[in-house]
Structure 1
Amino acid sequence: MSTSTDVLVVGAGPTGLTLACDLRRRGVDCTVVERATTHHTRSRGKGLQPRSLEVFDDLGIAEAALAAGRTHHHLRLYSGGRLALDLDLPARPPQPGVPYPNLVVLPQWRTEQVLRTRLAELGGVVRLGQELVDLHQDDDGVTATVTDDSTGTVERIRAAFVVGCDGGSSRVRTLVGIPMRGESHEEHFVLGDVRIEGLPADGPSYAWFDDDGYLAADPLDGSGTWQVQAGVRPDASGTLKTASLELFQRLFAERDFGHVRLSDATWLSDFNPRVAIVDRYRAGRVLLAGDAAHVHSPAGGQGMNTGIQDAYNLGWKLDAVLRGRAGHALLDTYQEERMPVARAVLASSDLGHSAFFSPHPVMTFLRNRVLVPALRLPVVLDRLLDGVAELDVGYRDSSLAGEPAGVDRTGDGEAAGVVDRVRFRHGPHAGDRAPDAEGQDGEGTPVRLFDLFRGTHSTLLLFDGPAPTDAGYRRMAATARAVGAALGDDVRTWIVVPGDRRPDGLDDVDVFFDPDRDAHHHYAATAESLYLVRPDGYIAFRSQPAAARPVLDHLGSAFRLHAPA
Structure 2
Amino acid sequence: MNHPEIVDVLIAGAGPTGTTLAIDLVRRGLNVRIIDKAQHSFEGSRAKGVQPRTLEVFDDLGVLGDVLDGSSDYPRLGIHLGPVAAPWRMFSHRERSTDVPYPNTRLIPQYRTDRVLHDRLEQLGGRVEYGVELVGFVQDSTSVAVRTTGETITARYLVGAEGGSSAVRRHLGVGFLGDTDEQDRMLIVDAVTTGLSRDRWHVWPGVKGRFAGACPLPHTDDLFQWMVRLSPDEEPPEGAEAITRRIQRQTRNRHVELSEIRWRSVFRPNIRLAEAYRRGRVFLAGDAAHVHTPAGAQGLNTGVQDAYNLGWKLGQVLAGADPRLLDSYEAERLPIAAAVLGLSTRKYEGLAKLDPSSLRRGNDEQQLSLTYYGGPLAPVGGDRTKTLQAGDRAPDAELLDADGTAVRLFDAYRGPHFTVVAYGQNAAMASNELDWPDAGAPLRRVTVDALTDPRHNFRHSYGLDGDTLLLIRPDGYIGHIATRDFLGSASAAARAMTPVTR
TM bracket, shorter-chain basis: over 0.9
Q: Give the whole-Å Cα distance in 1 for the aligned partners of 2:476 and 2:438.
A: 17
Please state if 1:256 is matched with 2:252: yes
Q: Is the 8 A contact 1:277 1:295 kept in 2?
A: yes
Match of 1:230 among 225, 228, 231: 228
SS class of match (2:251) = coil
- The answer to whether residue 427 in structure 2 is matched with residue 476 in structure 1 is yes
Tell whether 2:134 aligns with 1:195. Answer: no
**CA shift at 1:296, angstroms?**
1.4
State yes or no: 1:492 paired with 2:431. Answer: no
Give the match for residue 525 of structure 1.
Answer: 464
Q: How does 1:25-44 map to 2 (within 5 A)?
A: 25-44=27-46
Q: Give the CA deviation at 1:191.
A: 0.5
Partner of 2:422: 462
Question: Which structure exhibits the higher relative contact order, with contacts defined as CA atoms closer than 8 Å and separated by 6 or more residues?
Answer: 2
Which of the numbers 317, 340, 347 marks the counterpart of 1:321?
317
Are positions 1:450 and 2:410 aligned together? yes
Report what 2:273 is aligned to: 277
Amino acid aligned to 1:193:
D
Distance 2:454 2:445 in 1: 19
Distance 1:283 1:263, change over 3 A: same
* Whole-Å separation in 2 of the counterparts to 1:405 and 1:331: 22
Q: What pairs with 1:140-151 in structure 2 (closer than 5 Å)? A: 140-147=142-149
Partner Cα distance (1:523, 1:196) in 2: 48
- State the shift of 1:268 in Å: 1.1
- 2:55 alignment partner AA: L
Question: How far off its partner does 1:76 sit?
Answer: 0.7
Q: Partners in 1 of 2:244 and 2:401 — Cα distance?
A: 55
Q: Which of 272, 292, 295 is 1:296 aligned to?
A: 292
| CA distance in structure 1 between the partners assigned to 2:382 and 2:7 by the alignment | 43
Question: Which structure has the greater CA radius of gyration?
Answer: 1
Residue identity in the other structure for 1:311: A
Residue number among 360, 371, 395 corresponding to 1:394 in the alignment: 371
Asked if the contact 1:178/1:280 (under 8 Å) is kept, the reply is yes
Which residue is 1:414 aligned to? Answer: none
Contact 1:9 1:162 in 2 (8 A): yes
Q: TM-score, normalised by structure 2?
A: 0.94
> Aligned equivalents of 1:277 and 1:130: distance in 2?
26
Q: CA deviation at 1:267?
A: 1.0
Superposition pairs of residues 1-16 of structure 1, within 5 angstroms: 3-16=5-18
Distance 1:225 1:110 in 2: 13
Contact 1:80 1:211 in 2 (8 A): no
1:159 aligns with 2:110: no
- Taking the aligned partners of 1:485 and 1:348, their CA distance within structure 2 comes to 40
Is 1:214–2:173 an aligned residue pair? no
Percent of paired sites with the same residue: 37
Separation of aligned partners in 1, 2:393 and 2:51: 15
Q: Report if the CA contact (8 A) 2:431-2:469 is conserved.
A: no
Post-superposition shift, 1:86?
A: 4.0
**Letter paired with 1:491:** L
Gapped regions of structure 1 (runs ≥ 5): 148-153, 358-362, 376-380, 407-423, 465-472, 500-512
Structure 1 residue 243: deviation in Å?
A: 5.0
In 2, distance between residues paired with 1:156 and 1:117?
27
- What amino acid is the match of 1:455? G
Could you tell me how far 1:184 is from its partner in structure 2? Answer: 1.3
Deviations 1:59-109 (A, max 9, x none): 011111000110252221234774333438685431231011111111101
Q: TM-score, normalised by structure 1?
A: 0.83
Any gaps of 5 or more consecutive residues in structure 2?
none
| Matched position secondary structure for 2:335 | helix
Q: In 2 relative to 1, CA 141–371 (structure 1 residues): closer, same or farther, beyond 3 Å? A: closer
Query: Is residue 180 of structure 1 aligned with residue 176 of structure 2?
Result: yes
Q: Secondary structure at the match of 1:263?
A: strand
Q: 1:43 to 1:527 in 2, by over 3 A?
A: same
Change (3 A) 1:330 1:92: same
- Asked whether the equivalents of residues 72 and 90 of structure 1 are also in contact (C-alpha less than 8 Å), the reply is no
The 8 Å contact of residues 8 and 157 in structure 2, kept in 1 or not, is answered as yes
Amino acid at match of 2:226: V
* Cα gap change, 1:191 to 1:243, in 2 (>3 Å): farther
Distance change (3 Å), C-alpha of 1:155 and 1:405: closer
Deviations 1:477-527 (A, max 9, x none): 43122224457762111110122xxxxxxxxxxxxx111110011111121
Go from structure 1 to structure 2 and tell me whether the alpha carbon gap of 1:90 and 1:558 turns closer, same or farther (over 3 Å shift): closer
Whole-Å separation in 2 of the counterparts to 1:525 and 1:289:
35
CA–CA separation in structure 1 for the residues paired with 2:382 and 2:146: 46
Give the structure 1 partner of residue 134 of structure 2: 132
Choose the corresponding residue for 1:105, options 104, 107, 115. Answer: 107
Residue equivalent to 1:18:
20
Partner residue in 2 for 1:352? 347
Change (3 A) 1:319 1:559: same
Q: Does 1:333 align with 2:328?
A: yes
Displacement of 1:252 after TM fit? 3.1
- Give the equivalent residue in structure 1 for 2:56: 54
Does structure 1 retain, via aligned residues, the 8 Å contact 2:396–2:409?
A: yes
Shift of 1:146: 1.2
Size of the aligned set, in residue pairs, is: 495
Take 1:167 and 1:72, find their aligned partners in 2: how far apart are those partners? 26
Shift of 1:16: 0.4
Matched letter for residue 276 of structure 1: R
Alignment partner of 1:433 is 2:393: yes
Alignment of 1:536 onto 2:479 = no
Task: Tell me, yes or no, if the aligned pair for 2:382 and 2:481 is still in contact at 8 Å.
Answer: no
User: Are the structure 2 counterparts of residues 497 and 216 from structure 1 closer, same or farther at C-alpha, using a change threshold of 3 Å?
Assistant: same
The AA in structure 2 aligned to 1:106 is I
- Find the aligned partners of 2:222 and 2:487 in 1 and give their Cα distance: 58
Per-residue deviation, 1:25:
0.5
Query: Any idea what the Cα deviations from partners look like across 1:43-65, whole Å, max 9, x if unmatched?
Result: 11111111110000000111110
Q: Give the 3-state SS of the residue equivalent to 1:267 in structure 2.
A: strand
Matches within 5 A, 1:397-412: 397-402=374-379, 405=382
Distance change (3 Å), C-alpha of 1:260 and 1:286: same
